[in-house]
Amino acid sequence: MAAIVMGLLQGRVARVLGWFAPAGRMALTNYVSQSLVFGFVLFGVGPGLGLAGKIGASAMFGIVLAVYAAQVLFSRRWLGRFAYDPMEWLWRSFMYGERPRMKVSSGPIC
């Protein structure tokens, strides 16, 4: 297992997996946004679409891929400018009683 993990952390595979790292660093924001988006799309939350049971698995798979791709791109862009994702910044503000510095001091973090 260790050899497989080490193999994945080198070369071309590492570069490909590196694209997903910012989405992992913004896990809380991505989780909350996925919940809101799929609540809207599937269950008709608010003025939602209510598509649960009305679309097939392949259509849903396409929606999931599109949402995830958008999150990966948004995460990369966000973390290039800011030190924390929005939900983590709120969480830290409440936990520590002060607002953490949001801007990245020098260059992208990811």
- What residues does each domain of the chain span? 2-96
Give the Cα separation of 27 and 22 in Å (integer).
Answer: 9
Give the Cα separation of 4 and 13 in Å (integer).
Answer: 12
What confidence score (pLDDT) does residue 45 get?
Answer: 79
Asked if 66 and 74 count as a contact pair (C-beta separation under 8 A), the reply is: no
Q: Is the pTM of this model over 0.85?
A: no
Distance from the Cα of residue 68 to its chain's centroid:
7
pLDDT of 8-58, one tens digit each?
Answer: 778 777 788 888 899 999 999 999 999 999 999 998 877 888 999 899 999
